[in-house]
Each structure stands twice: as structure tokens, then as C-alpha cells.
Amino acid sequence: MSELVPQQRLEQLRSSIDNIDAALIHMLAERFRCTQEVGRLKAEHDMPASDPAREARQTARLRALAEEAHLDPEFAEKWFNFVVAEVIHHHTEIAAGASEA
């Protein structure tokens, strides 16, 4: 079997990256569908938008998963913090909309 020329290998790798990016977007969309439902539930029952204890448990869990996967745990934590900030923003908006209704 002949080796691929560098440009062909680069194209293969980029195609894989594109597929992974698409999968990540779909997974994030599903995650946010779930967190929107959590936000509605919290708003209906006057629960706070954030849950620091859960966030701390998730941070520890994701850092451990990142280490197992040979991914920088700091990066995983930054990603999670970014996502959580957006989720809390959504929950706050949902709660504000529920109190106006």
C-alpha cells in the first residue's frame, strides 16, 4: 500500500475534523435543549438559575474525564465554565419571562 502524499493526508484529517465539529455542534444543541427544559422547570418552581454545588461536581468529573482522555483538564474546565455561563444566562431569561407571564 502506498503512502498518501502529505496534501492527501491533510485533506483526510481535515475531513475528519469537519465531521467531529459537526457532531460537536449537534451534541451542544441537544445539551442546550435539555438545559432549556431544566431552566423552565427551575422557573416554574422558583429555583435559582445556578447550582454551584452541581457545577463543582461537574467540573471535577469533567476534569477527571479529560485526564483519562489525554485532554488538558484546564481546557475542559474553561469549556465547561463557558457553557455553564450561557446556560445560567438562558435560565435567568426563562425565569424573567415566567415572572412576566
Residue 12: predicted pLDDT: 96
Is 74 within the bounds of a domain?
yes
C-alpha cell at position 41: 422547570
- Residue 92: give the domain boundaries: 6-100
Is 55 within the bounds of a domain?
yes
Interhelix angle 73-100/52-68, nearest 10 degrees: 150
What total number of domains does the chain contain?
1
C-alpha cell at position 17: 475534523
Those residues whose C-beta lies under 8 Å from the C-beta of residue 63, and which sit 6 or more positions away, are 73, 76, 77
Is 1 within the bounds of a domain?
no
Report yes or no: 70 and 17 within 8 Å, Cβ to Cβ.
no
Give yes or no for residue 1 having a pLDDT over 60. Answer: no
- Write out pLDDT tens, residues 35-92: 999 999 999 999 999 999 999 999 999 999 999 999 999 999 999 999 999 999 999 9
Is 69 within the bounds of a domain?
yes
C-alpha cell at position 45: 418552581
Domain with residue 94: its CATH number is 1.20.59.10
pTM: 0.83
Residue 14: predicted pLDDT: 98
